[in-house]
A and B are shown apart, each in its own frame.
Chain A
Amino acid sequence: EADIYQTPRYLVIGTGKKITLECSQTMGHDKMYWYQQDPGMELHLIHYSYGVNSTEKGDLSSESTVSRIRTEHFPLTLESARPSHTSQYLCASSTNRVLAKNIQYFGAGTRLSVL
């Protein structure tokens, strides 16, 4: 079982609010990722990080921002939530070890609803 945790699991919030989705892993993984997934749809990579102080934008443009101040922590922030941000957000991590084949371990996700 993967040791990667996301909080909150569910969040219902009003338009214009600032929100931060938390993601922490206890596996010492260097790489971390944020995906966005709508119901029945594919995963879209929105942010990733190769290590502390490293952040990159993913394939899907997102108004969210991320930070990586500590290896185990990769929070995602939306400065002003909008209904279009309603989705499920999944955090994942993987190790840099070559033999690990970039296997990603996922958290349970945060289901965000913006009213």
Chain B
Amino acid sequence: QKEVEQDPGPLSVPEGAIVSLNCTYSNSAFQYFMWYRQYSRKGPELLMYTYSSGNKEDGRFTAQVDKSSKYISLFIRDSQPSDSATYLCAKQGAQKLVFGQGTRLTINP
């Protein structure tokens, strides 16, 4: 079993929709979780990080961690075509990050 599992999609939604992206993880050690966004032919860029359980909000983006179910979520409100990208969740390991496969998201105008 992979340490971080993520549905690769692709996911296609209309502009303005609320998007929910999800990951599950299997190792409870280390409590930092991150979301990266990767545009086509570019390197990943950090979108948000969260510590332990709870929500963290940044503009239209909300990151959520549920430790009891080992679930990580990213919500995008009022989605825009510019949000079209691959979103990668990551969990901090002992010395390095463990990434999910990434979900390819397309927002249709």
Contacts and interface: CB of A to CB of B under 8 A. Distances in A.
Interface of A: 2, 6, 33, 40-43, 45, 48, 50, 58, 90, 92, 101-109, 111
B43 A108 contact: yes
Contacts of A111: 41
Interface stretch (B55-63, B69-77, B100-108): B100-108
Contact of B96 (A6, A40, A48): A48
B41 A102 contact: no
A92 B36 CA distance: 13
Contacts of B49: 101, 103
Interface residue tally of chain B, by bracket? Answer: 20 to 34
A41 B41 contact: no
Contact of B101 (A41, A48, A102, A108): A41
Contacts, number: 50
B106 to A, nearest CB: 13
Contacts of B101: 41-42
A103 B34 contact: yes
A106 to B, nearest CB: 3
Interface string B65-109: 000000000000000000000001000100111011110100000
Contacts of B42: 108-109
A42 B101 CA distance: 4
Given A43-B88, A108-B42, 9 more contacts: A40-B8, A43-B99, A45-B96, A58-B96, A101-B92, A103-B34, A103-B49, A105-B46, A107-B43
